[in-house]
Amino acid sequence: MRYRKVPLDLIDYTTYHFIMGQPRRRETIAPCDQARTRGTRRLENGMAVSFGTGTRPVILGIVGDSAAGKTTISRGIARILGPERVAVLCTDDYHRYNRRQRKELGITPLNPACNYLDIMAQHLRLLRAGEPILKPHYDHKRGDFGPPQYIVPKPFLIVEGLLGMYWQEMRNAYSVRVFLNPPEELRRRWKIRRDTMQRGYSEAEVLRELDIREPDSATYIRPQQYDADVVVSFYPGTSRSESDDDAHLNVRLTLYGTLPHPDLSEVIAEDRSGRVRATLGRTGGRAVEYLEIDGSIPDEPAAALERCILDHLDACGAASLTDLGQYSDPQVRHSHPLALTQLLLVYHLLRAKQREEVEA
């Protein structure tokens, strides 16, 4: 089914009244580095996926509270797939009010009433149908809106933000749905570090804002995890050194049966490090599989897990994906649990792309 193309001037200048007065210029995403890693070529060849233009994109939805790690996950996945084939949409751009207005009104950006969810859902429908959109842009550094941005669908689209799975209509647009759920103590540490270093807040201001937002987090953000296919929870180890070191964070992946996950049982059974565990359980009344990877996992078993996922993609060779597991702290560092999480999500995106091309 193809959706009717909505005139771009109708979408942005009558609906987004807050953009009025901005220059009517058309912005395009700057060309990205075209180089591909050897590992990425392995994924493409193994999946036998073509990347033609004009196709309906495979959409990954990543939802989580502020500073839960959404951008770290999405940037890594975009590097793996190739930036020229991935578009990224941040749902924060659909805020109804700027920072000053929110303060005057006493409303947080986590509240659905503070966002144009209807326009967000409309844009997801258009993008899913392969149509371009002209969307608003929210500048976190200034706390205000900038010129609109023109988004053209690419083979993959990553949608990240606070309320991306709030409505069923939004959830229907995604091929893969992910919720990030770190423990609150860790998320608060991440938010303090990010907002003080990048957004001009003092630590006291960040802590005060966290307390103000907590009721909305509990009411609107955290319940979305029950509509995810995968819930990702990074958490610190028990030792004091591990609790302060993001490079050695453990990860617990809650895998719901809404996606066909790769069978890692053989490599887990052969692991002698004790750093990888898989168990069955129930969450929110649904049967799930828990996959836990310790941050202290040695290189060899981590590489074995990586190869196992690659083998499920029918790939050949044994090269690694060089960009897997990178994050900024503020220096670029590497995490095995992050790398394996990213690779699992790339697996699901490529599988979804393969399924859609078979069904086309």
Tens digit of each residue's pLDDT (9 = 90 or more) over 71-114: 999 988 998 888 899 999 999 999 999 999 999 999 999 999 99
Q: Is the peptide bond before 330 cis (omega within 30 degrees of 0)?
A: yes
The per-residue pLDDT for 28 is: 38
Return d(Cα 297, Cα 313) in angstroms, integer: 23
Please state whether 317 falls in left (phi above 0), alpha (psi between -120 and 50) or beta. Answer: left
Asked whether the predicted pLDDT for residue 124 surpasses 50, the reply is yes
* Average pLDDT of the residues in 32-52: 47
* Average pLDDT of the residues in 107-131: 97
% of the chain residues with pLDDT over 90 = 57
239 pLDDT tier (thresholds 50, 70, 90): low
The per-residue pLDDT for 190 is: 94
The per-residue pLDDT for 262 is: 86
Catalogue all structural domains in the chain, each as residue range(s) with its CATH number: 1-20+52-179 (3.40.50.300), 229-314+327-360 (no CATH)
The per-residue pLDDT for 2 is: 43
* Average pLDDT of the residues in 222-235: 97
The per-residue pLDDT for 30 is: 41
Lookup: tokens for 313: 């993609």
The per-residue pLDDT for 202 is: 93
Strand, helix or coil for residue 248? helix
* pTM, full prediction: 0.82
